[in-house]
Structure 1
């Protein structure tokens, strides 16, 4: 699955639930970061799902790598390495579930007005 396919899928799910534009933007950012990291660093996406609940949107991205994501030190000389920080900011309930075939990252974005400010 490519980033574009994942974003299109997420956009359809969110549109069906009449998600507000700001929430949609945040979810699409999280989807882009998680899927691009799975493609770049973990052999590709092996599972993808977006679920809208009354109080949260849950994004699940699975890959075949056992390596866990980690925060990179901030550096003005490095143009990458900030994606995990963005995900953790927009989806403070994010966690990783390791399994026999790799891992699944479960990012939870609150839907209410008390959402954290963007990165």
Structure 2
């Protein structure tokens, strides 16, 4: 069941997108009974994936949030075909840890190639 579909601009910070998602999740009976940690994890994943689009691509993107069985699916689509890379931790590098955070919070995550661009998705257990 789709909960939210929201386009965002390249220069738009993740915070407004995250706040809209938080409002939808807070008002959703779908998540009634789920731990508050689930919502927090979903919001962190949204922030990381949206920031990846705004930092590493030239166009905007689209967030899709859905409930499927026992998971919340976060999908962020953009028009750039370059796939993100999961980098190993490096104390000497500033940044570059977003996908490590996503991988740590999600049951599964991945990249789906689209006709124009890609969708990065993550499943958060609920």
TM-score normalised to the size of structure 1? 0.84
Which sections of structure 2, spanning at least 5 residues, go unmatched?
Answer: 1-7
Tell me if structure 2 keeps the 8 A contact 1:56–1:108: yes
Greater relative CO, 1 or 2 (CA 8 Å, sep 6+) = 2
Displacement of 1:27 in angstroms is 0.6
Cα distance in structure 1, aligned partners of 2:70 and 2:120: 19
Name the structure where strand makes up a greater proportion of residues.
Answer: 2
What residue in structure 1 maps to residue 22 of structure 2? 11
Which stretches in structure 1 are left out of the alignment for 5+ residues?
112-119
Determine if the alignment matches structure 1 residue 35 to structure 2 residue 18: no
Superposition map of 1:1-119 within 5 A: 1=8, 2=12, 3-17=14-28, 18=32, 19-111=34-126
The 3-state SS of whatever aligns with 1:76 is coil
Q: Which runs of 4+ in 1 moved over 6 A?
A: none
TM-score for both structures, normalised by structure 2: 0.79
Alignment length, in residue pairs? 111
Residue 54 of structure 1, CA deviation: 4.5
Which 10-residue stretch deviates more, 81-90 or 69-78?
69-78
1:92, CA displacement in angstroms? 2.8
